[in-house]
Structure 1
Amino acid sequence: MSGGRLKLQRISAGGPAGHGLPGRFRAVRPWTVDVRALVACLLMAAPFAEIRPLVAQAGSGAAVGIRDPNGHPFRTPSGSPLEPVHRLALLSATRDSFRDGIALADIGDRFGFWIRRDPAGEVEVAGAIHGGAFSRFDLEGPDQALIEVHYRIGVLLRARFGEVAARAELYHVSSHLGDEFLLDTGTRPISTSREGMELLLQGSPASGLTVYGGPGVLLRATPDFEPLSLRAGAAWESAPGGRARFHASVDYFGWAELEWKPAVAAELGAALARGTRVGLLLGFGPSRAEQFLRQSERLVGFSISHVR
């Protein structure tokens, strides 16, 4: 067994059930097939279903910073690990004294299916759905096996009131360990599943700068989790027109279940084209992998992402 495998096996033995989850909880896999199929249909439909004519209506002024590239209110905070976007990252992950080479391969998209504006253009209300799969691979093993994958799908109600945008999301999250990882480490399979609501407010206090934040609450969870959470962040992108465009973002996520330990993600790099970014990715705090959420880790490496 390779050194990377030994490290992963020790990490997974966080409790009687593995991964730091209490031993009294049993494995649950609700909606597994349905969620995967729904996410696949969503991703295939998104490129064709987006409402393109709205781009021409995304006017100037402070509202530009809180509209997405398709003209819908509330710009996706793409630097947040919770948001379904397309991302590939090669990272060094450190937990305690153990260090692993991992790869993140995320795929996610969204499409808006409805929007209404008042005649004065001060109020906008729009509906959308988004979904994605977030995968983690072991780069130090001989077969680069899948370690963990989790899915998120949400129904969004987005709105803008003057210079402030808001987004309410009803979401489902489920997670699963890779088969080869289970076989190689002997880890007991555990799946987590939950549904919740989150409300985020967003503003653009300066050109190129977007800030957001708001609370979340769980409606159902397996195992039982503490319901309250909080997310906040900021993103900046330099003005177009120069030889290079730069971006920087930071995202905070706190959860009562984890005693409000801050999970922080940050990115710094260059914007290559509309929605495509490359650069340095940093993270620390509770793991962004659902199966290892009780383990603290530090991430550093290279990332490329795209969001429409």
Structure 2
Amino acid sequence: MICLRFIALVGIMLSNAAVAQTTPPNDAYIAGYATSMLRYKLNLDISSLIVQNGVIILPEDSLNISDQSRVVQMLSEIPGVNQVKIAQITTELPIATAPSQPIQQFADQTVAITNTDPTLLPTGLLPSGHLFKPLLADPRWAHFSASYRHFVNDNFEGRDIGAVSFGETIPFYRGNFGRSLVQWEAGLQAGVFSDFNLGAPSADLINTDFIASAYSSVRAKQFSAFGRIYHQSSHLGDEFLLRRVNSAFERINLSYEGADLRLSYEFPYGVRLYGGGGGLFHKEPSSLKVWMTQYGIEFRSPWRLDFAPARPIIAADFKNFQENNWNTDVSARVGVEFDNLQVLGRKLQILLEYFNGNSPSGQFLRNNVEYIGIGAHYHF
């Protein structure tokens, strides 16, 4: 019954996404809309712009550097636009181009895109988008998700665990470094991560971790960086504690502040590598060791599946903590991202997952666990 209840929760998330979704404008509509805006609002005639899967691509010789930020800001606000890019264009692939006739008379043309420059995002207060993409396999990256996990070994007090997370990365301000194509942003990132025992009569809460941070990120072409100062605290559930009141279980008053930095580089065909590390500068208990490293690889397919509006995703994340003698924690996820199921610009991903290492749940950081699972995730 508990498993059915959890499956129903995931189903509700999917149905809400479908209800919230509106049919996105097609590429031909976006191309016509963008060309008209540029022509009549900025007096720019860029009829050679193209659109592929909601991504507006501007020929690199069509804009002055001084015009790029305001053009990107304007085009990013068009309904259905996912990104705005600048690239060299030659002939070969089918795309939608800006019309010289009414939108109904669009004809497909062919181009190939080479030497694509970085995506330029809107600047100013509370801008849309993020310079540093989320880490898809990181168990503690702030986002919205619901997962079912089956533990291969005994975990806490059950093998069937429901895990949910609520969180977001909110950029407060974004700007350019002078007239260059390098952008920076600053904001807040916060998340709540909770585990529930699905084998208990009332799906008892086991552990909740709270993470809040101030961050800054930078992007230059395919390179991006994300640094933050953060606080994390961990708390056990009431029902869990009540059942353990006469046992030898020792609760940890876990709370600490730290700083970390991650660097990322995006290769062609959707491949991304990242790595970094950090340390703690205030911690309780004081015996906690300071240092950690993190690195990983991701593949976000640039191609859709033939039978569905979805793209394959594969990601692996690795962490080593000095506290756990530098043992490697492995988190791997594989699944699909749906282009047509979006809420507030976030795309739905259905991912199978595997984890082996010291538990990411704060109160159990010294416990070695292994689990497999499936989850629904919202990422940008």
Cα–Cα, structure 1 residues 279 and 76, in superposed 2: closer, same or farther, change >3 Å?
closer
Query: How many Å separate the matches in 1 of 2:329 and 2:119?
Result: 29
1:207 is paired with a residue whose SS is helix
What are the residue-to-residue correspondences of 1:288-307 with 2, within 5 Å? 288-307=360-379
Question: What letter is aligned with 2:254?
Answer: T
Structural RMSD (CA): 2.5
Write the deviation string for residues 132-157 of structure 1: whole angstroms up to 9, x where unpaired: 10000001111110000011111111
Query: How many Å separate the matches in 2 of 1:125 and 1:204?
Result: 17
Q: Who is 1:268 aligned against?
A: 334
| Percent identical | 25
Query: How many Å separate the matches in 2 of 1:159 and 1:111?
Result: 14
Cα–Cα, structure 1 residues 183 and 66, in superposed 2: closer, same or farther, change >3 Å?
farther
Question: What letter is aligned with 1:269?
Answer: G
Write the deviation string for residues 41-70 of structure 1: whole angstroms up to 9, x where unpaired: xxxxxxxxxxx9487274242534999x94
Q: Who is 2:94 aligned against?
A: none
Q: 2:226 aligns with which of 167, 177, 185?
A: 167
What is the TM-score of this pair, normalised by structure 2?
A: 0.63
Q: Who is 1:252 aligned against?
A: 318
Query: How many Å separate the matches in 2 of 1:204 and 1:198?
Result: 20
> Relative contact order: is structure 1 or structure 2 higher (C-alpha 8 Å, sep ≥ 6)?
1
Cα–Cα, structure 1 residues 66 and 81, in superposed 2: closer, same or farther, change >3 Å?
farther
1:119 Cα offset (Å): 5.3
1:300 Cα offset (Å): 0.3
Cα–Cα, structure 1 residues 268 and 161, in superposed 2: closer, same or farther, change >3 Å?
same
Write the deviation string for residues 102-146 of structure 1: whole angstroms up to 9, x where unpaired: 010111112111111135443111101110100000011111100
Checking the alignment, whether the CA contact within 8 Å between 1:182 and 1:188 is kept in structure 2 is: no
Query: How many Å separate the matches in 2 of 1:231 and 1:112?
Result: 23
Structure 1 range deviating more: 236-245 or 219-228: 236-245
Instruction: Please state if 1:234 is matched with 2:300.
Output: no
Instruction: Please state if 1:141 is matched with 2:200.
Output: yes
Query: How many Å separate the matches in 1 of 2:131 and 2:201?
Result: 46
Question: What letter is aligned with 1:140?
Answer: G
Any gaps of 5 or more consecutive residues in structure 2?
A: 1-71, 77-82, 87-115, 340-345
Q: Choose 1 or 2 for highest CA Rg.
A: 2
Query: How many Å separate the matches in 2 of 1:54 and 1:290?
Result: 43
Q: Who is 1:17 aligned against?
A: none
1:63 is paired with a residue whose SS is coil
Question: What letter is aligned with 2:161?
Answer: I
Checking the alignment, whether the CA contact within 8 Å between 1:95 and 1:295 is kept in structure 2 is: no
Query: How many Å separate the matches in 1 of 2:280 and 2:74?
Result: 33
Q: Who is 2:165 aligned against?
A: 106
What is the TM-score of this pair, normalised by structure 1?
A: 0.77
1:275 Cα offset (Å): 2.5
Checking the alignment, whether the CA contact within 8 Å between 2:121 and 2:128 is kept in structure 1 is: no
Question: What letter is aligned with 1:307?
Answer: H
Q: Who is 1:37 aligned against?
A: none
Structure 1 range deviating more: 103-112 or 233-242: 233-242
Cα–Cα, structure 1 residues 93 and 214, in superposed 2: closer, same or farther, change >3 Å?
same
Any gaps of 5 or more consecutive residues in structure 1?
A: 1-51
2:118 is paired with a residue whose SS is helix
